Structures are given as structure tokens and as C-alpha cells.
Amino acid sequence: MSDEKIYDVPADWKAKAYVDAAKYEEMYARSIKDPNGFWGEQASRIDWIKKPTKVKNTTYDPHNVSIKWFEDGTLNACYNCVDRHLPKRAGQTALIWEGDDPKDDKTITYKQLHEQVQVFANVLKARGVKKGDRVTIYMPMIAEAVVSILACARIGAVHSVIFGGFSPDSIAGRLEDCKSTVIVTADEGLRGGRKVPLKANVDAACDKVGGVNTVIVVRRTGTAVNMEPGRDFYYDDLALTVPAECPCEEMSAEDPLFILYTSGSTGKPKGVLHTTGGYLLYASMTHQYVFDYHDGDVYWCTADVGWVTGHSYIIYGPLSNGAISLVFEGVPNYPTTSRFWEVCDKHKVNIIYTAPTAIRALMQGGEGPVKKTSRQSLRLLGSVGEPINPEAWEWYYHVVGDDRCPIVDTWWQTETGGILITPLPGATRLKPGSATRPFFGVVPEIVDAEGKVLEGATSGNLCIADSWPGQMRTVYGDHQRFIDTYFKTYPGKYFTGDGCRRDADGYYWITGRVDDVINVSGHRMGTAEVESALVAHAKVSEAAVVGYPHDIKGQGIYAYVTLMAGEKPSEELRKELVQWVRKEIGPFAAPDLIQFSPGLPKTRSGKIMRRILRKIAEDEFGNLGDTTTLADPAVVDDLINNRQNKK
């Protein structure tokens, strides 16, 4: 380990943080030895209507996976994020909203949030929404996105938030899966000076699936949009017609809180289902300890509320802790590449939590745009979404953080609800590129291909040995798929889909997905989804999609496309296919490189050999491994000779 850089915990952090190194070891050991005692105590960090007497009731037995935490407790998540803070901090800022245009901003206090959430909840109720109903939310990053999410939680409706970058087809698939009849959207979104036609996308989605009877439209840009009489309503009109007060619904700890769709290696996106008690407790606890959040800190998570990071670390974690949470509508490079740091200076941000892809993109612009800003308010830097390469880590640390701020590289997944592997800033010595050590209650295991648990310094597939309160409970409507996806590969363990190395100090280094999932700028995608979008095009007969290393995006999308007989490859068709995928899935799924290939490497039984395609896309074709099972070896030479140039 001698050539490895280690950054010690700064002395001031050791002194003031909730947890130092000794306390981490002690709390961690207890959490593993006595989960019922540990989590039973933690339960009191949130407010219950009826306190739970039971704590953990979980089994990973692949015949009968069942995960329940605090099952006899009742509570309301919105109450915990809003109402319970009113006695002490009604006048404190809950949300700082920073618009796409630097001239637009506003703050919302806990009292105002309380008022707005109750009205929104009553609007939903007036449109017939009841406990257990699914409400789809397709919103830009405006305060009403947060308000509508909390309003659902208040009345016990299950929110299904869809990221504003998804296409009408993707919305339609999700609507159909969760059978939601109510959609909350905005006329348009605004990102990087460009308008996003949210309402028009919702209209197109509703044309594809039946069942939606209410579309609530929040005015963002004020542009005129199509309004279907009887179905579409402006939020501000409805808000005038409802009472100001709305009580919180009493929910069981295991009642669903939300569904969030995420991609896997096969099939359609899965509806990851999170429930109320364990999720909220875990989001709240990780937010407090990982970011060492203290009263009054200004905390900014740059994610979109459409992803799990936004759910857990813009909304549920911070607000349950009474935090000041900044909601940013824009992008890192608009109007200039100093924007992130200007926002930090303007709002005196203490903690920023962002993605490696943003850091790498800003790195390309050099130090100038960073160094012209002060950033003196920053104390802690966070990273999430994909492995952070050591170069980007060092740049974040030295250039953005002026060597002063620890970095918490947090590993987790939509499925995990909250952070599982991470440094604690007052406790953990940092190694650039490592997510370091497990959070309380988390037991990572590294297994080989046969499922044998490997000890000590090693590498293999990352599993988690036992349940934690924030874990997903099921795939919405398909419990068998939940079991098959996560608990069958290595029976008795939760399989993450990630590869991982553990070093001699017990530090974890996530190496990326080992399944057919790719991570492009922190957006998770199944290669199968991009493939089915491509083959839906009339001129495409077959497609295979793999990831390749990309300087900024982490992974780029490399598509091998075989055309229908008689169709000719051309630059025009290449562009057409890129546009096609943007339209089918969303702009972030557009292939970076398309190689027209007359054939794909297949086994004699017709299975595409993706391993070979991956190697060629990675320019590692000198080392293709075993090719003896190929039906037609000549195909490979053609693929190598016509591979796409990365630069």
C-alpha cells in the first residue's frame, strides 16, 4: 500500500464530527452484532404515531425473500419532513431554490413548505387520490416537485417520479406498469437555457396508454400548452378551490412510500419499491452521519429529484433532519462553467454532493473558472453515481476544496435506498478512488463466480450479506422478479451487480457493473433497452450495445448495428439512429458511436458474444480471449477493421 495516497482526517473534523474513528469501529461492531438493539435505538430518530415494538424481520432465503423492518410501527414521512420541525424551526429555510437563470432564486421556510404541501395534498385528494394510489410525477427541478412528492407522502399516495429527460415512450411504459391515473407535470422545464416540453411529452405518453384521468400542470415558463378539457388542470387554478389544511395519513412502516423505475440487465425497467419506516430512518441517519450535517448547514445535492439520489438526499434525508436543502434547476456549465461555484458562494453552501461526470466535465475547463470564485463556505465534498477516478478525485480535493474539505465517495444504488459504503468525514482516512468502508449495519461480501466468499485483500462480485432498513422491498407487481434479480445468483445474499476489490486495509474499491448495465454520466441503463430501441427502427435488423471508457461520461454507448438486407450504411442513417434512440428512450441514451456491422459474433447456438464486442469497443482486440466457440470467426476481423474511432 506504500504507493497509495492516504489523506488523514483533518484535526478540526476529528474534534467536531459526530463520529470519530474509534466511535465508528464501536458503533459498527455493535450494529453487526446486535442489529435489533442498534436499529431499535435508531428508530427514535424519527417520529412515530405508534412506536414499533418489532425491529428486524428479514430473510434472504431465495424461496421466500421477505424484508420487513419496524413492521408494527406507524408514522407519516411528510410529517417527519415538515410538521415535526414547526415548533423549533417554522421560520427557518427548508429549501433554497436556485433557478436555471442565475437571476432566479427563492427560499421556502418550513412553515411555507407546510402550507404548500397541505394545499397540494388537498388538490390531489380533490382529484380522487387516495391512500395507496400511484401518482406519477414528471417535473423540472422546481420547488413544486418537492412539494408534490411530500404531498403524496402526506396522504399515503405512492409517488412514481420519472426523470424529466425521459421520452413519452418511457413515461408510457411506467404509467402502464404502475397503473397510475394522475400525473403531475409542468408546462415546460428549463435547463441550460433550453426548454423541455414536459407537458407535450405527457400528452404523447397519454396517447399511448389509457387510464390517465387527471394531469395537473404547474406553470413554470407560462407558455401556452395543450389542455385536454376534463383531464388537464392548471395547478394554480385547482389550488384556489381547496382548503388550507390537510391532516397526515397514518401509515404502517411497511406501507409503500414510492416506486422508482430503474434499469437492469434484462427486460423492462423495474419498479423499485421502497416503504415508509425503514427507508426514512435510513435516509435520515445516513444524511446526518455521512455529511456530518449540523443545524444551520447549507447542504446542496446537485442530483435531479427524478433519481434516487434526489429522493433520499434532496428530500427525505435532509428534510427529515430539518436541514436547509438547495434545489438547483440548472446545469454545471450554464451560463458559464463557474456556475456550481458561484451558486456555492451566493448561498454560502457548506456541503456539496455531486457526480464524477460533472467533476470531469468541469475539469476540462481548467482551474480558472473554479479559482475565480471563493468557495470558502465549503467544508465537505460528496461524490455519487459511478466510480470516481483518482485524477478527478484529486482535482475535486485540491482545486475545488482547496485541500481543506474531505471527500465522501458514497456507493449505493436505487435498490439500497441510501448510502451503503462511504467514508465518514470525521472518522475515515481517505484513499482517492475508494468508497472506503461500510456504513453501520452493512456487511459487504466479495464472492467469486461460484459464490464462494473471499476473505482479506481480494476482488470479485459485491454482495451484501444481510438486510438494512433502507433496502427495497420488492419489484412493484412482480416479487418473483425481485427474487430472481437479486437473490438467485448467490443464494442467501443480496447481489449488487457490481464488481469490487477490497484492499489490505479493508477498503472497498467499486470497479463498475459486472452485468449488462452501463452507467453513462451517472445515468443507469440496460444495454438491452438501447438494443430494443434500435431494432424498433425499420432499417435495423439486429443490434448489440456495450459500454466503453469515456473521458467525461465514465462510460459511452457503443452500438453495433446490422441493417436490413438492401439497406446501406451512411452518415445520414447514423444520425437518424442516434435521433431515434433519443426519441425512444431519452436524450441521455443516445449512442456515442455506431458501427455498422454486417454480422455480429455469435456462438453456434446463436448467442451474441458480448465479451468480444466489449473488448473491441474498449480497443483491446489484441486480447479477445477464447474465440473457439464462434460460429464464424471472420466476423470478428471485420468488426476490428471497422471499429469506430473514439477521438
CB-wise, 122 or 519, nearer to ligand WT7?
519
Cβ atoms of 557 and 590 closer than 8 Å: yes
Beta carbons of 48 and 77 less than 8 angstroms apart: no
Cβ proximity to ligand WT7: between 74 and 422 the closer is: 422
DSSP notation for 100-153: SSTT-EEEEEHHHHHHHHHHHHHHHHHTT--TT-EEEEE--SSHHHHHHHHHHH
Q: Measuring CA to CA, which residue among 136, 150, 140, 162 is closest to residue 218? A: 140
Cell of 37: 438493539
**At closest approach, how far in Å is the CB of 77 from ligand WT7?**
19
Cell 425499420 identifies what position? 538
Q: Which three cell numbers stand for residue 438?
A: 461500510
- Taking CA 139 as the corner, what is the angle to CA 238 and CA 173, rounded to the nearest 5 degrees? 105
Which residue type does 100 have?
A: D
The least CB distance from residue 399 to ligand WT7, in Å, is 20
Choices 50-58, 63-71, 290-298, 490-498; region in contact with ligand WT7 by CB under 6 A: 490-498
SS3 for 409? Answer: strand
In this complex, which beta carbon is closest to ligand WT7, that of residue 316 or of residue 411?
Answer: 411
Which stretches of 364-508 are DSSP H helices? 368-371, 390-395, 479-486
Residue 428: how many other CB atoms lie within 10 Å? 21
Closer by beta carbon to ligand WT7, 179 or else 488:
488
**b/e sequence 188-217, b meaning 16+ C-beta within 10 Å:** bbbbeeeebebbebbbebbeebeebebbbb
Stretch that binds ligand WT7, among 45-53, 141-149, 344-352, 507-515 (CB under 6 A): 507-515
Task: Compute how many other C-beta atoms are within 10 angstroms of the C-beta atom of residue 480.
Answer: 10
In order of 193, 288, 343, 344, 607, the CA distances from 96 in angstroms are: 20, 19, 11, 12, 52
Region from 55-63, 211-219, 496-504, 569-577 binding ligand WT7, contact rule CB under 6 A: 496-504
Grid coordinates given for 124: 390531489
Residue 524 Cβ vs ligand WT7, minimum distance, rounded to whole Å? 3
* Residue range at the interface with ligand WT7 (CB under 6 A); choices 398-406, 495-503, 542-550, 636-644: 495-503
- Residues annotated within the binding site for CoA are 191-194, 309, 333, 521, 582
Q: Which residues contact 29 (CB under 8 A, 6 or more apart)?
A: none
> Which residue lies nearer to ligand WT7 by CB, 502 or 537?
502
Task: For ligand WT7, give the closer residue by CB, 413 or 532.
Answer: 413
What is the smallest separation between the CB atom of 312 and ligand WT7, expressed in angstroms? 8
Comparing CB distances to ligand WT7, the nearer of 297 and 409 is 409
Asked if 498 interacts with ligand WT7 (CB under 6 A), we say: yes
The CA-atom distances, in angstroms, between 495 and each of 281, 414, 430 are: 23, 13, 26
Q: Cell numbers of 89, please?
A: 424551526
561 binds ligand WT7, rule: CB under 6 A:
no
Handedness of CA 128, 132, 138, 139 (dihedral sign): positive
Q: Single out the residue of 519, 527, 562, 597 in contact with ligand WT7 (rule: CB under 6 A).
A: 519
Q: Which three cell numbers stand for residue 366?
A: 481548467
Choose between 76 and 170: whose C-beta lies nearer to ligand WT7: 170
Size of the site for ligand WT7 (CB under 6 A): 23
Residue located via cell numbers 461480501: 445
The least CB distance from residue 93 to ligand WT7, in Å, is 25
Min dist. Cβ of residue 272 to ligand WT7 (A):
8
For residue 148, give the C-alpha cell: 408534490
Q: Which is nearer to ligand WT7, 510 or 563 (CB)?
A: 510
Q: Which is nearer to ligand WT7, 326 or 421 (CB)?
A: 421
In the list 17, 298, 308, 400, the residue contacting ligand WT7 (rule: CB under 6 A) is 308
- Of these, 154, 311, 513, 615, which contacts ligand WT7 (CB under 6 A)? 513
Specify the 3-state DSSP secondary structure of 458.
strand
Asked if 330 contacts 100 with a C-beta cutoff of 8 angstroms, the reply is yes
**Single residue of 24, 293, 300, 412 touching ligand WT7 by CB under 6 A:** 412
Contact between 437 and ligand WT7 by CB under 6 A: the answer reads no
Residue among 116 and 284 whose Cβ is closer to ligand WT7: 284
**379 to 408, contacts with ligand WT7 by CB under 6 A?**
383-387
Rounded least distance, CB 498 to ligand WT7, Å: 5
Tell me the residue length of the chain: 647
Report, in Å, the least distance between residue 415 CB and ligand WT7: 7
CB of 224 vs ligand WT7, minimal distance in Å: 35
> What is the rounded distance in angstroms from the CA atom of residue 291 to the CA atom of residue 358?
19
Quick one: which H or E segment has residue 516?
none
Phi, psi torsion values for 44, nearest 5 degrees: -75, 0
What does DSSP say about strands 458-464 and 494-502: parallel, antiparallel, or unpaired?
antiparallel
Per the annotation, binding residues for ATP are 385-387, 409-414, 498, 513, 524
Least distance from ligand WT7 to the Cβ atom of residue 549, Å: 14
Grid cell listed for 332 = 454545471
Q: List, as residue ranges, the binding site.
A: 191-194, 309, 333, 385-387, 409-414, 498, 513, 521, 524, 535, 537, 540, 582
Kindly state whether residue 339 participates in binding ligand WT7, applying the rule CB under 6 A: no
Residue among 378, 388, 291 nearest 343 (CA): 378
Q: Is 409 an interacting residue with respect to ligand WT7 (CB under 6 A)?
A: yes
Positions in 526-545 near ligand WT7 (CB under 6 A):
none
Distance CA 441, CA 529 (A): 34
Residue 309 binds ligand WT7, judged by CB under 6 A: yes
CB of 596 to ligand WT7, least distance (A): 30
Q: Is 524 one of the binding residues for ligand WT7 (CB under 6 A)?
A: yes
User: Which residue's CB is nearer to ligand WT7, number 120 or number 307?
Assistant: 307
* Footprint of ligand WT7 on 102-131 (CB under 6 A): none
Task: Detail the residues annotated as belonging to a binding site for Mg(2+).
Answer: 535, 537, 540
Instruction: Kindly identify the residues of this chain, within the stretch 9-28, that bind ligand WT7 according to CB under 6 A.
Output: none
Of residues 569-588, which lie at the interface with ligand WT7 (CB under 6 A)?
none
Radius of gyration of the chain (CA): 24
Q: Which of residues 438-457 bind ligand WT7 (CB under 6 A)?
A: none
Q: Which of 181, 413, 532, 642 binds ligand WT7 (CB under 6 A)?
A: 413
Nearer to ligand WT7, 347 or 502 (CB): 502
Q: Is 549 exposed, middle or buried (0-12, 13-18, 19+ CB in 10 A)?
A: middle
Among 277, 497, 586, 601, binds ligand WT7 (CB under 6 A): 497
Q: Which of 552, 618, 530, 526 is nearest to 356 (CA)?
A: 552
Query: Closest CB to ligand WT7 among 302 and 595?
Result: 302
Residues lying near ligand WT7 in the complex (CB under 6 A): 262, 308-309, 383-387, 409-414, 435, 496-498, 510, 512-513, 519, 524
